[in-house]
Amino acid sequence: MSGLLIESENDSDENTVSSKESIASRNKFGPKLTQVGNTHLYDGAHEVYKVQEKLENYTRRLSQLGLGLDSEGSSEISRPSSSIALSPTQHSHTLNSGEISHQPSIHPKSPNKSKTHSPTPRLRRSVSSKSPQSTKIQIKFQPIGSIPQLRPNTCKISSHKPFSTINVFLKKRLKVENVFCYINNSFAPSPNERIGDLWAQFKVNDELIISYCAIVAFG
Amino acid sequence: MNPLRSLVWKGEINVQIYVEESLLIGGKQQQHASSKPLLNLRFPRDTFLPMYLTSILNQLKLSLKYEIEKIIPRCWFSYNEKVLPWFLPIGVIFDMTMSNDIISRSNDTIKPTRRSIISTWPIKLHFKQKEETDRKLPYGFIPLIAGEGQLESFWMHRWKQACFIMNGSSKIMMQLARHETVSFWNSIKQRDLDGFTEISSKIIPASESGFRMVPIKYHLPYNNETNNFESPIQPVVKLIQNDNSKGPIVLQDVILKDFPDLIDINGEFKGFMIAQGIILQPSDSVYELYSSLLNIDGFLHIIISNS
């Protein structure tokens, strides 16, 4: 619950920052617009809004003509650097049913630009400074059976890493060929799950408890 | 039983199987064969690709260069040269790769035609020999070394995880009798909805208030820029309102926590959410969605797109 509250609080902050930044990024559309912005921004709030409105109209017109800023670039500017990059929609390959039978190749090397070009920015997960996604989280290791104990038995790891990182780390530290990891002595997470998400859902006293074993412990 | 469950359970996908030329007798001379689909199949949405692997290879065995037992642990499926995650239900992978197609068809105002209704999914079967040194196994490839047993174990762990999220521990799942566990897995293999519902209803809380959290995974559509599919996002979703407002928790409430950009300046939701091939509405109740559209691994998989 607290995680949700923290996220929602920061989301609003981020939106504010994001909107300011995106205005800044729009100023880069052309020298003429930058000049207009610089001249009037100091004249008062009313003038600022007028400039913003003009910029927005200009952006809209550029989008309609398909001449807008590269969406990759604009999204990079409007998001904090800690954001987790997610899927681009501008490169998504659209397959209409029936196309397949007419196309001998199913793996085009480069997507069809006329179909895929879109001004839609890349979708990104919101990451705030207080959320577990952007920080390091604490993990407590517990051995099961005859496998050696890790010393120290706690460590911190970046929350955006996949769970497979833990597996690799344990194999390296313990110098074993196989290691089976479980959360809260219950289940083995999927190797591609983010550690931060697991921490948010299964933490005990702000620690993610991972048990490890040389053989299968919980089938 | 919820009639939607039955419709979703019966959902199927048209799949075209292409095969990498090096896997076929004749090797590179078979280039023409690898550019055509060798099999046209229909898979139930709520199953896993490895369940059909032996059957696919058996149908192709006269054209295959290697023995089936040798191929299985070192083969993978791809879509547009990206490895498909075999551990996700087929319908989820389809929705991730074809989300644009699903969205554009839903926007189609023209009278539907055969072309606009029938959707096929072209996927390619690959294989890499142990001895091959000129190429590596693709990033994200998880070998199926233990065959179906590996898939069953993976699936069982997903249910334990979902059980923990819903109930605060995996106790219910761990206390299932051996015969119940076996019949639960068999219900997936034999496409028996009643058998599946009988066991899953013991794990899923009977009412909205019984949920500690809802097991949901968000996926982002197929990404051309990365090597593979993005890791899923597992949000913390509780069915209790933070403020004093009554009414159910709706999808928009939970999605905006992770994706605040999906709302425009006018306060309108501008994204698309897809589950089981269906475009969801932001006002849909999360509890109702979970009850109707949950996948065979106990999670509700939602594909989120802003296109």
pLDDT tens string B218-227: 998 876 665 5
Percent of chain B with pLDDT over 70: 90
Q: Which residue of A has its CA nearest to B230?
A: A86
Residues of A in contact with B126 (CB under 8 A): none
Residue A136 pLDDT exceeds 50: yes
Q: Which residue of B has its CA nearest to A194?
A: B231
Average pLDDT, chain A: 61
Distance CA B85, CA B93 (A): 7
Residue B112 within a domain: yes
pLDDT of residue B223: 67
Q: Which residue of A has its CA nearest to B304?
A: A123
Residue B307 within a domain: no
Q: What is the mean pLDDT of residues A40-55?
A: 48
Residue B21 within a domain: yes
The model's confidence at residue A119, banded by pLDDT at 50, 70 and 90, is low
**A positions 159-188 inside 8 Å of B (CB):** 162, 183-184, 186-188
Q: What is the pLDDT of residues B30-51, one digit of tens each?
A: 666 667 888 999 999 999 999 9
Residue B69 within a domain: yes
Residues of A in contact with B231 (CB under 8 A): 162, 192-194
Instruction: Please state which of the ranges A35-39, A113-117, A143-147, B297-301 shows the lowest mean pLDDT.
Output: A35-39
Q: Which residue of A has its CA nearest to B103?
A: A94
Instruction: Please state which of the ranges A60-74, A104-118, B124-138 shows the lowest mean pLDDT.
Output: A104-118
Residue B260 within a domain: no
Of B214, B225, B224, the closest CA to residue B275 belongs to B214
**Which of B161, B235, B256 has the CB atom closest to A187's CB atom?**
B161
Q: Are A88 and A122 in contact (CB under 8 A)?
A: yes
- B260 versus A100: the higher-pLDDT residue is B260
**B positions 113-142 inside 8 Å of A (CB):** 114-120, 122, 124, 140, 142
Residue A132 pLDDT exceeds 60: no
Q: What is the mean pLDDT of residues A53-61?
A: 60
pLDDT of residue B241: 72
For residue B31, the domain's CATH number is 3.10.20.620
**Phi and psi torsions of B274, nearest 5°:** -125, 135
Helix (H) or strand (E) holding B41: strand B39-44
Please give the tally of structural domains in chain B. 1
- B228 versus B138: the higher-pLDDT residue is B138
Q: Are B228 and B198 in contact (CB under 8 A)?
A: no
Residues of A in contact with B167 (CB under 8 A): none
Residues of A in contact with B234 (CB under 8 A): 193-194, 197-198, 200-201
Residues of A in contact with B176 (CB under 8 A): none
pLDDT of residue B292: 95
The model's confidence at residue A61, banded by pLDDT at 50, 70 and 90, is low
Q: What is the mean pLDDT of residues A181-191?
A: 94
Residue B302 within a domain: no
Which residues contact residue B136 at a Cβ distance below 8 angstroms, ignoring those fewer than 6 apart? Answer: none
Q: Which residue of A has its CA nearest to B152?
A: A219
Q: What is the mean pLDDT of residues B262-282?
A: 90
Distance CA B122, CA B175 (A): 41
Percent of chain A with pLDDT over 90: 27
Transcribe chain A into DSSP letters: -HHHHHHHHHHHHHHHHHHHHHHHHHGGG-HHHHHHHHHHTTS-HHHHHHHHHHHHHHHHHHHHHT-SPPHHHHHHHHS-TTSBP---STTPPP--TTHHHH-S-SS-SS--HHHH---PPPP-B---TTSGGGSEEEEEEEE-TTSPPPSSSEEEEETTSBTHHHHHHHHHHHT-S--EEEETTTBPPPTTSBHHHHHHHH-BTTEEEEEEESS----
Entry pTM: 0.75
Distance CA B27, CA B24 (A): 6
pLDDT of residue B29: 62
User: Is there a contact between A4 and B158 if contact means CB atoms under 8 Å apart?
Assistant: no
**Strand bridging mode B120-127 / B12-19:** parallel
Of B102, B275, A214, A160, the closest CA to residue B284 belongs to B275
User: Is there a contact between B234 and A89 if contact means CB atoms under 8 Å apart?
Assistant: no
Sheet containing strand A207-213, edge to edge, reads: A154-158, A136-143, A207-213, A180-183
Q: Are B283 and B252 in contact (CB under 8 A)?
A: yes
- B200 versus B264: the higher-pLDDT residue is B200
Residue A152: cis peptide before it, omega within 30 degrees of 0: yes
Residue B88 pLDDT exceeds 50: yes
pLDDT of residue B100: 84
User: Is there a contact between B238 and A184 if contact means CB atoms under 8 Å apart?
Assistant: no
Q: Chain B within 8 Å of A80 (Cβ-Cβ)?
A: no
Give how far A201 is from chain B: nearest CA, Å. 6
Q: Provide the token pair at B222.
A: 């197929």
Residues of A in contact with B165 (CB under 8 A): 201
| SS3 sequence of A73-128 | HHHHHHCCCCCECCCCCCCCCCCCCCHHHHCCCCCCCCCCHHHHCCCCCCCCECCC
Size of interface A-B (CB pairs under 8 A): 164
pLDDT of residue A84: 29
Domain coverage including residue B13: 3-141
pLDDT of residue B225: 64
Q: What is the mean pLDDT of residues B66-83?
A: 89
Cα–Cα distance list, A45 to A49, B35, B167 (Å): 6, 62, 53
Angle at which helices A2-26 and A45-65 cross, to 10°: 80
Residues of A in contact with B153 (CB under 8 A): 219
Q: What burial letters (b/e) apply to A15-35, b meaning 16+ CB within 10 Å?
A: eeebeebbbebbbebeeebee
The model's confidence at residue B189, banded by pLDDT at 50, 70 and 90, is very high
The model's confidence at residue B247, banded by pLDDT at 50, 70 and 90, is confident
The model's confidence at residue A44, banded by pLDDT at 50, 70 and 90, is very low
Of B172, B164, B176, the closest CA to residue B214 belongs to B164
The model's confidence at residue A122, banded by pLDDT at 50, 70 and 90, is low
Q: Are B61 and B14 in contact (CB under 8 A)?
A: no
Q: What is the pLDDT of residues A80-91, one digit of tens each?
A: 333 323 222 233
Residues of A in contact with B87 (CB under 8 A): 190
pLDDT of residue A10: 36
* Amino acid (1-letter code) at residue A145: G
Residue B120 within a domain: yes
Cα–Cα distance list, A6 to A59, B4, B256 (Å): 33, 36, 14
Residue B187 within a domain: no
Among B17, B176, B234, B301, the strongest candidate for a mutation testing the A interface, having the largest count of A CBs within 10 A, is: B234
Q: Which residue of A has its CA nearest to B88?
A: A190
Residue B229 pLDDT exceeds 90: no
User: Is there a contact between A7 and B257 if contact means CB atoms under 8 Å apart?
Assistant: yes
Residue A63 pLDDT exceeds 60: no
Of B200, B182, B158, B173, the closest CA to residue B1 belongs to B200
Residue A9 pLDDT exceeds 80: no
N residues, chain B: 307
Establish whether this prediction's ipTM goes over 0.95.
no
Q: Chain B within 8 Å of A126 (Cβ-Cβ)?
A: yes
Give how far B148 is from chain A: nearest CA, Å. 14
Handedness of CA B35, B38, B43, B47 (dihedral sign): negative
